Amino acid sequence: MDQKEFAELYESEKPMYEAWAKYVRSYVVDSLRSVLGSSEKFNEFIKVEPSYRIKTTDSLLTKAFIRKKDKYKNPYNEIEDKAGVRFICLLTSQILIIQKIIMECDSWTYTLDKQIDWWKEDDPRAFDYQSVHFVIKASKDLVLEDGSTVQYGTPCEIQVRTLLQHAYAEMAHDTIYKGEVEYSTDIQRSFARSMALLETTDSLLCEVKESVDELTASRESWKREVDKAATILVEDSLDDRGSTDKILNDLQGIVKKADIDEFRKFYLDDNNKFLAKKIKENSTRVEFRCKFIVLIYFFVKRYSALIYRQWPLAEEVLERIYADMGVAFPNSH
């Protein structure tokens, strides 16, 4: 195949490659939204809009007939980066979620190749810093929603990297890896040190994210239980989750000690049904119309000395709850 035939064939198939890249991007994005469960979580996860690109005809020609002339026997069929998609997430731990989506799709087969980086000129010195790269190929002839047909075996490259990896790769590409100037070993060593620092930073951020996720999961469990308790014992409770957040924050020392199952037993116990009447009698104060009030009754019963020292609101509220629970109120702080 000469250059003219090569270019004409690619021009005729360009729309297919573009439709294929768009489909791949949309499939992964939709699947990720489904896995994460909300747009808010998706926006926390993906920090740069997922992108796709189609190789220009001139770029493909120079790769096939100049830059990689000796690499390919059949360049048109062997060059697999005519279409490409990129996903940039926040942390390396999140890459695995996108990777799983890619690997489980029936519309394509895949190979995992860390050497591919079609977003910059090929350079054996370039360090891709743990980015994940796939080559996928259509597992059958696919008819897409827009009517486009993607032929069996049509390739597309997918790159998944973190924001830190992206910053490093772009900086490296724009400076020492362009190949225009040979830089000293000191400069290259500095880049290597920066890469190591980014790896350490990413590792620490992953640990922080894991701890935050655990804390958030625990907090959400308590909030759900507080809501359930209020449904049973607080008549016409206020829909104010911000107040619950404040109490859980201010009393977090007690919350860490408390057992959520024990709290559930407390508000479901028939012996504590009288609390509904007590809470209603005290409802001239807004605190007794907040959903968290049942939790405070539980804390007074279970941690009377601790809550007295940590109570952030009016003391009169706590005095009433102590009295309702038949617990002696401390004389002074």
Give the model confidence (pLDDT) of 92-109 as tens digits: 888 889 999 999 999 999
Predicted local distance difference test score (pLDDT) of residue 182: 58
pLDDT digit string, tens, across residues 311-330: 999 999 999 999 999 999 98
- Mean of all residue pLDDT scores within the chain: 86
Q: Which two tokens stand for residue 324?
A: 């309702």
- Cβ atoms of residues 327 and 304 within 8 Å: yes
Predicted confidence at residue 90, as pLDDT, reads 84
pLDDT digits (tens, 9 = 90+) for 215-234: 888 889 999 999 999 999 99
pLDDT beyond 80 at 77: yes
Helix 3-36, helix 92-103: angle, nearest 10: 110
- Contact partners, residue 291, CB within 8 Å, separation at least 6: 226, 227, 229, 230, 234, 237, 238, 240, 241, 243, 244
Pick the residue with more confidence: 57 or 172?
57
Q: Percent of the chain beyond pLDDT 70? A: 89
Q: What is the mean pLDDT of residues 211-217?
A: 83
Residue-wise pLDDT for 264-306, tens only, equals 999 999 999 999 999 999 999 999 999 999 999 999 999 998 9
pLDDT of residue 125: 42
- CB atoms inside a 10 Å sphere around CB 239: 9
Closest CA to 98 of 31, 22, 165: 31
Helix (H, G, I), strand (E, B) or coil at 241: helix
What domains sit in the chain, N to C, each tagged with a CATH number? 3-183 (3.30.460.10), 208-325 (no CATH)
Confidence tier at 47 by pLDDT (50, 70, 90): confident
